[in-house]
Amino acid sequence: MSKDLRKFQIDAIDKSILGMLQKDGRLTNVQLAEKVGLSESACLRRVRLLEQNGIIDRYVMLIDQAAIGKPGNVFVRVTLEGQQKEKLQHFEQEIARVKDVMECYLMSGDSDFLLRVIVRDNEDYMRLHNRLTSIPGVLRVQSSFALKTVLKKTELPL
C-alpha cells in the first residue's frame, strides 16, 4: 500500500461500499450502487478511488480449507539465532516460499515470528516442521495445534 492513507478521507458512503464488498466481492457495480443508494457512475467512481488510494487492496475468493484436504491450523512460533536485519530478511524470503504458511508475523516477545500454517494431519505437519527447521538461522520452532476454530473473520470493522 504505497499511498498515504491519512490523505484520503473515507465517508459513510465509502464505508457502506467497503462493507458490502467485504460481504460479497462479486457484487456487480449495478447491485452495489443500488445497495448504497448511488448512481452507477458515482458508485464506480468511488470504488475506483478506493482502489487507487490503496483502501481496497485486492479482490479474493475464500476457500474452505477442509474442503481441499487441509483442515488443521497450527500456530508456529519461530525463534532465529539472531535478529540482525539480514537474518530476518533471509527468513522472510524463505518462509514466503512455503506454500502451507498462510500468515507470517514479525513479533515482539519471546519468539521472532508467528506463523499460521494449514495441514492435512500430524504427518503433514511433520513434513512442514522439517522444512521450517531446515531454514538456515532457525534456532527453535514451537507449535500449537488449534483444536477448534471459535471465530474467524475476514471482514474488517469500519
Are residues 42 and 75 part of one domain? no
Are residues 82 and 45 part of one domain? no
Helix (H, G, I), strand (E, B) or coil at 110: coil
Are residues 17 and 82 part of one domain? no
Task: Count the domains in the chain.
Answer: 2
Question: Residue 123 belongs to what domain range?
Answer: 65-145
* Residue spans of the chain under pLDDT 50: 1-3, 5
Give me Rg for the CA atoms of the chain. Answer: 20
Counting other chains too, the contacts that 56-61 makes at CB distance below 8 Å and 24 or more residues apart are: 56/18, 56/21, 57/1, 59/21, 59/25, 60/25, 61/25
The whole model's pTM is what? 0.85
Instruction: Fill in the amino acid letter for 80.
Output: L
Are residues 38 and 88 part of one domain? no
- In this predicted structure, what is the pLDDT of residue 132? 97
